[in-house]
Each structure stands twice: as C-alpha cells, then as structure tokens.
Amino acid sequence: MALRAGEVVDLVAERSADFGVFIGNGREEVLLHRKEQTEEVTVGQTVRVFLYHDSEGRLASTMTIPSVTFDDYEWYEVTGVRYNTGVFVNIGIQKDVLVSLDDLPENRSYWPKEGDKLCIRLKYDQKSRLLGEPAHYAYLNLLARPAKEEWGNQDVHAIVVNRRDVGVNVWVENESLGFLHEAEMTRWPRLGEQLAVRVTQVKQDGTVLVSMKPRAYEAIDPDAESIRAYIEERGGQMPYGDKTAPDVIDREFGMSKAAFKRALGKLLKEKQVEKLDNGYKLK
C-alpha cells in the first residue's frame, strides 16, 4: 500500500543523510529530517511517524504526531490567510494545513483571521493533497454536553463555528453549543473568532442563547458620562438642570436639551447624582 500524507505509520530507518534519515517500508522511503526527530534515530530503528507534504510538495515525515485524524476533529489556531486559497492552521508540525476556501464562508469578511480557532479533521482534495475540513454543526451537536444551569447571566468563552441567516452558532466553554442572534450582536463576528459573551438563557435542550451586548447596568451612556465628568471637574456640583435653556446646554455640554434630560435621568435612576434646588450634585 502506497504511503500517503495524513497517515501515521511505522517505518524503518533505511539509510542516513547529513540532514536526517530516510525511512521506508521496503517499497517506498521518505525523509525524516533531523529537525522532525523527537529523539536521535539510527539505521535499522523502527519509528512511528506522521506523513505530510513539505513546502515543495514532496512526501515527508515527522515524529510529532498530531491528534487530528481523518475521523477525529481537533481545535487548532489559524496562522495565516491567503484570500485566493483559504486559511492555514497549525496542527503542531512544521507544515501548516490548508483549510480551502471551498470550506469557508463565501463572504471573505467572515473568514477566520490569524489567532482565531477552527475545529478540523483531515481530508484529501481531488489531487490527494492533505487539507483541513471544519467541523459541521451536526458533529458538534453530537459532541456537545448540556449547558450548565449556573451559566445563566454569566460571562463565558465562545468560538464561532457556523454562520446562519439570523445569527451564528458558537461553541461555549469548550463543551456546549449556543446561538448568538444578530439582534444580540454588536457586529457580525468571524468564523473561528473567540468571543466573550453573556448567557441570556439556558434552554431545555441543553443549548444556550448568548449576547455580545453588555448588561443594562454595564452599558456606557456617553452623554451621561460627559455630564458626570463635567460635574466632577467642577467640585461635584453644577447649576444646570431640567429648566436650563437649550442654548446653554448646547454651549456647556455640546448636546441637545432632550439628550441632556435623558442622560441626566439615567444618572438619577442609577443614583449617581441627586437634585438640588439650583442644580445637581454627585452622590
């Protein structure tokens, strides 16, 4: 049987070279470069290696065995993007594996970037070249564990695994599936992007709904922050309020009277300020 990239095989060191040893099965041989040896290999020794194609397309070998196989998926980091080809992931050996553009979103703005993570398994293309294939939602659904009840309203780590018409599926805390609806996004995330999200609901089917948006009390109102900063800079008190003329509000705060009243109302509701007879002060 011919040796093929992606296989883990036991081969015998048949002859040495200045840069390593050639190992084979009696019919074919491949190079095991010295930098790919985890221990010194001598002629006659049997070694277990992973086969791959080097940068020139030649079959080569390494004693570093990646955990990904043609059947088993694994998470790996994206190391580069080539927009006419696809993205590259580091599976732990000298040569990165290509995830073809055929397995990526049609819209390149949703492609993974360097540092993102993809769950892949190995596959061959029509020319028997070794590629990475992203995990389908159905596989992750089989792998997923029910989400923990205590995740409710908690911040969790999530990785985008699939894009849908109204949102994206995410892999939560490396064990459960979730869904991020577009209404809960601050922007559309990329495939493979790692997100800090908040669990808004733990569903009965074991999945979760998540949000990229901050909790209501965490949301920053720039107008309210501007008013608060104004008061702080003036010793914790200001002489302006609901009855102040719009032109004065615009001059002092650079906002409309309506925006001023709305922001001031937020500060009152959050008990950051209190009303005085002639204005407001910080609490």
Count of residues in the chain:
283
pLDDT for the residue 2: 87
Q: Report d(CA 63, CA 43) in Å as an integer.
A: 15
Is the per-residue pLDDT at 213 higher than 90? no
Is the per-residue pLDDT at 218 higher than 80? no
Stretch 169-185: mean pLDDT = 97
Angle at 52 between CA 51 and CA 54, to 5 degrees: 135
Sheet holding 279-282, edge to edge: 237-238, 279-282, 273-276
Q: How high is the mean pLDDT of the chain?
A: 93
Q: Give the start-end residues of each E strand in the chain.
A: 8-17, 20-24, 29-33, 46-53, 59-62, 74-82, 86-90, 97-100, 117-124, 130-134, 155-164, 167-172, 176-181, 194-202, 208-211, 237-238, 273-276, 279-282
pLDDT for the residue 222: 84
Q: Which residue, chain included where needed, has tokens 């939602």? A: 137
Is the per-residue pLDDT at 148 higher than 90? yes
Is the per-residue pLDDT at 4 higher than 70? yes
pLDDT for the residue 55: 87
Cβ atoms of 86 and 104 closer than 8 Å: yes
pLDDT level of residue 270 (50, 70, 90 thresholds): confident
Is the per-residue pLDDT at 162 higher than 80? yes
- Which residues have a Cβ under 8 Å from the Cβ of 52 and sit 6 or more positions away? 5, 6, 59, 60, 61, 62, 93, 95, 130
pLDDT for the residue 25: 93
Is the per-residue pLDDT at 195 higher than 90? yes
pLDDT in tens, 81-122: 999 999 999 999 989 999 999 999 999 999 999 999 999 999
- Predicted model pTM: 0.73
Tokens linked to 240: 């302006």
- Which residues have a Cβ under 8 Å from the Cβ of 160 and sit 6 or more positions away? 168, 169, 170, 180, 189, 190, 191, 192, 193, 195
Cβ atoms of 163 and 191 closer than 8 Å: yes
pLDDT for the residue 220: 60
Q: Report d(CA 121, CA 116) in Å as an integer.
A: 16
Cβ atoms of 162 and 134 closer than 8 Å: no
What would you report as the CA-atom Rg of the chain, rounded to the nearest whole angstrom? 29
> Which domains does the chain possess?
8-62 (2.40.50.140), 74-135 (2.40.50.140), 144-211 (2.40.50.140), 222-282 (1.10.10.10)
